[in-house]
Chain A
Amino acid sequence: MPERYLLPPDGTDLRSIDAYRKQGGYAAATRALREMTPEAVVEVVRESGLRGRGGAGFTTGQKWSFMPKPGGPKPSYLACNADESEPGTFKDRQIMERNPHLFLEGLVIGGYAIHARAAYVYIRGEYITAFRVLSDAIREARAAGLLGKGLFGSDREFDIHLMRGAGAYICGEETGMIESAEGRKGQPRKRPPFPAVSGLWSCPTTVNNVETVSHVPAIIMRGAAWFKTIGTPASTGNTLFGISGHVNRPGVYELPLGTPLREIIEVHAGGVRGGRALKAIIPGGVSMPVLSAAQADVAMDHDSLKQVGSLLGTGGIVVMDDTACMVRAAVVIARFFRHETCGQCTQCREGTSWLYKLLRRIEAGEGTLEDLRTIDSVGGYMEGQTICALSDAAAWAATGFLRRFRAEFEAHVHERRCPLPESFEP
């Protein structure tokens, strides 16, 4: 097994500050705040090649470098996206619930690097356990002088506050999250201005994902060169792959980026359940186009997935065996996007409804070949036409299933029923 630095070793409880410190915790923040300039922190993170783990994969050091120098008219903020809600994704929860102080340490270092006055962590409302564990951890860190005025014996002030979402997927989109954090509907904003110029409360803001900042303490302690020895040249470090669906051992596995998909399924997740044949894999959350079993040898990194027509996304892998109906899978996902569209862009509001209705009709055995063409054309109107990427994701998911499994869609039309009697129900 490759070395882990995000999740605690099996059987170890790192939730208390004492346990976390005993194994070296908060040494990285101590080093950063006492021995490094903020610019040096940004530089080592940039040099490490760390890319965001929230889905888009933007280079973290570069994102941090967009933030203004201190002394400007407005304070800067670090906003942490803990709204994990991309279906198939359940990894940030592992960090927050099992290694909360690692996450807080990453926020302290990140906040220092961008001269932030405070960090605001936006946790999805359903994650009540993560919220409670983090509330306790923040209380411990404050009492130990690691947060608040004069943290780590410095002359600075920095605190971490928890916010709660309320079940809207769109608040995982960074500007939707900012709107929500300001007490409004989570409808994404037009860019520019980007958050680094005008984010939370119109102040310069960096939005980072939970896992992203949690890589930073190890990078500070062990250096950028060490980090680059893990993964591939363009996708460095470990990541948390969540694997679910028809496998024997679903769960979250910390592995180097670039690990072959087949190894994750066969070795780590124990293979397809009941010895059945692999049929389809969603590689990075349902927003990313589905892969067929023939593509399962792809390496799980940004470039390799792009080459096979999908994307790494959040690294949330959903596995389907040969009983699973691909039209039904597409229906479930289309139903989700129809539910979650925020409604402000016409293409998305109308398009998600259209895709769901068309797929539902095909699944019921009432579809036509014309409906298959309409899915493609509706998808075309939805891509690249809207304020945020939800519309694109809904289109990619539907057209991805159709393109990859067209014969199965056509069989539904010709046989006027679902040809897979053992399939799960939507």
Chain B
Amino acid sequence: MSAVATGAPLLSAAVREAIAAEVTKYPQPRSALLIALHLIQGELGYVPLQAQREVAELLGIKPIEVREVVTFYPMYHEHSVGKRNIQVCVNIACALGGARHVVRGLEDRLGIAPGGRTPDGRYSLEEVQCLGSCGTAVCVQVNNEPYIENVKADGPDAANAIDELLKRIG
């Protein structure tokens, strides 16, 4: 990533328009920052520095004020992750429900540890904190999609369960 913005803008016209529509909801444009970053990440898969500079300009704030936010919130990525970013909840209800088996099964199958990405760029794996789905543990979220719930990967059927999970993940 070069330090100076060069070439064509990274943010598409559609994202710029969607951000502009969000800005109208608030007395201060800056309040649209979090949702703007979700829109950007939805399109690019992550929020690179150039995109941060562009959104700063749109909202009338400094690039560092955007970066502070990007790096504070766990959902945003400054660097690209796998096309399918698999997030396994490891908080208490999911831990009690066997989250460690799910993480280990995915580690073995994908050959990566949490924080890693497969060489083909298809999958990345993350351990995340409570997703608010404790009654349907273990809970897995891929990218920002609806949850995959009641995932089990212990006992004799563990290998099949991971196959099944990866099929659902796509």
Q: Are B75 and A125 in contact (CB under 8 A)?
A: yes
Contact B145 A128 (CB under 8 A): yes
Contact status B91-A336, CB under 8 Å: yes
Q: Are B129 and A164 in contact (CB under 8 A)?
A: no
Contact A161 B25, beta carbon cutoff 8 Å: yes
User: Residue B12 at the A interface, CB < 8 A?
Assistant: no
Q: Which of A124, A161, A183, A252 has the most CB of B within 10 A?
A: A183
Partner-contacting stretch, out of A11-19, A82-90, A373-381: A82-90
A127 — which chain B residues lie within 8 A by C-beta?
A: 132
Question: Are A87 and B68 closer than 8 Å at their CB atoms?
Answer: no
A204 CB-CB contact with B under 8 Å: no
B27, CB-defined interface residue at 8 Å: yes
Q: Chain A contacts of B147 at CB under 8 A?
A: 129
Give chain A residues whose Cβ lies under 8 Å from the Cβ of B31.
Answer: 163, 181-183, 201
Check B68 against A332 for contact (C-beta < 8 Å).
no
0/1 interface trace, chain B 55-74, chain A, CB 8 Å (1 if under): 00001010001001100111
> Chain B contacts of A168 at CB under 8 A?
72-74
B137 and A244 form a contact (CB under 8 A): yes
Contact A183 B73 (CB under 8 A): no
Does the CB pair B74–A167 fall under 8 Å?
Answer: yes
Give the residues from 150 to 204 in chain A that come closer than 8 angstroms, CB to CB, to chain B. Answer: 161, 163-169, 180-186, 201
Q: Which residue in chain A gives the minimum CB-CB distance to B144?
A: A128
Chain B 10-34 against A: per-residue CB contact (8 Å), 1 yes, 0 no? 0000000000000001111011111
By the criterion CB–CB under 8 Å, are A87 and B134 in contact?
Answer: yes
- CB-defined contacts of A166 to chain B, threshold 8 Å: 34, 37-38, 73-76
- Known contacts A126-B132, A180-B34, A252-B135; is-contact A88 B92 (Cβ 8 Å): yes
B129 touches A243 (CB 8 A): no
Which stretch of B1-9, B93-101, B106-114, B115-123 is in the interface?
B93-101
Contact with B along A52-86 (1 / 0, CB 8 A): 00000000000000000000000000000000111
- Cα distance A176–B31 in the bound complex, in angstroms: 14
Q: Are B74 and A93 in contact (CB under 8 A)?
A: no
Bound CA span A166–B40, Å: 13
Tell me the minimal C-beta distance from A284 to chain B in angstroms. Answer: 13
Question: B158 contacts the other chain (Cβ, under 8 Å)?
Answer: no
Q: A166-B74, A168-B74 are in contact. Are A88 and B134 (CB under 8 A)?
A: yes
Q: How many angstroms from the CA of A161 to the CA of B25 in the assembled complex?
A: 7
Q: Within 8 Å of chain A (Cβ to Cβ): is B170?
A: no
Residue A316 at the chain B interface, CB threshold 8 Å: yes
Contact A426 B75 (CB under 8 A): no
Q: Is B169 interfacial (CB 8 A cutoff)?
A: no
Contact B135 A183 (CB under 8 A): no
Query: B32–A183 contact, CB under 8 A?
Result: yes
A327 within 8 A of B: no
| Minimum CB–CB distance for A132 against chain B, Å | 9
| Complex alpha-carbon distance, A180 and B135, angstroms | 28
B72-106 interface mask toward A, CB cutoff 8 Å, 1 = contact, 0 = none?
Answer: 11111000000000000011110111101100000
Given contacts A166-B38, A167-B75, A168-B73, contact A244 B134 (CB under 8 A): yes
Q: Which residues of B contact A242 (CB under 8 A)?
A: 134-135
Q: Considering the chains assembled together, what is the distance between the CA atoms of A163 and B35 in angstroms?
A: 7
Cβ contact within 8 Å between B34 and A282: no
* CB closest residue in chain A, given B39: A164
Residue of B nearest to A125 (CB): B75
Interface centre among B38, B91, B130 (most CB of A within 10 A): B130
A260 part of interface (Cβ distance < 8 Å): no
Tell me which of B31, B68, B128, B147 has the highest count of chain A C-beta atoms within 10 A of its own C-beta.
B31
Contact digits for A312-325, partner B, Cβ 8 Å, 1 yes 0 no: 00001010100010
Cross-chain pairs A/B with CB under 8 angstroms, 13 sampled: A87-B130, A93-B133, A166-B73, A166-B75, A183-B61, A201-B27, A245-B96, A329-B92, A329-B95, A336-B92, A340-B129, A342-B72, A425-B101
State the 6 A-B residue pairs at the shortest beta-carbon distance, nearest first: A166-B73, A244-B134, A183-B33, A183-B30, A167-B74, A167-B75
